[in-house]
Amino acid sequence: MKLYIALFLVVLLAVFLTYLPSILAVDCPQASYGTGDLAINYYSSPLCITCYAQKSTLNELKTNEMLTITEYNADFCPQGRAIRGVPAFEVNGTVHYGLQEKETILSWVKA
């Protein structure tokens, strides 16, 4: 029984430490990149493994001068309340869910 309690406390501590920076941060959006005319809102979560995989594509898009990428924490930012899954991209009023390639995201922006 003590083992289960200890394991539960370790998991609880891990989750708390993962979310602590987001809880203490009052800044929404979490980050903003670029000053282009075409806007992309990106929603992620600290516990989303797929969101970490999406970061490499996001880093490639940051260098695109025609884009403005605004990153939100879907768990704590009020703008993310309507988001039903992460990672998510909001482009031209439409929300797209899941891991996406750079070319796919750019095709949404240009449409």
Instruction: Set out the domains of the chain in order of their start, with CATH numbers.
Output: 26-110 (3.40.30.10)
Q: What pLDDT band is residue 79 in, cutting at 50, 70 and 90?
A: confident
Total Cβ atoms within 10 A of residue 70: 18
For residue 72, what are the CA distances in angstroms to 2, 3, 4, 8?
39, 37, 35, 29
Query: Region 29-40: what's the mean pLDDT?
Result: 88
Mean pLDDT, all residues of the chain: 87
31-33 vs 67-73, strand pairing mode: antiparallel
Please tell me the number of Cα atoms within 13 Å of 33 on its side-chain side.
15
In this prediction the pTM is 0.75
| Residue 69: pLDDT over 80 | yes
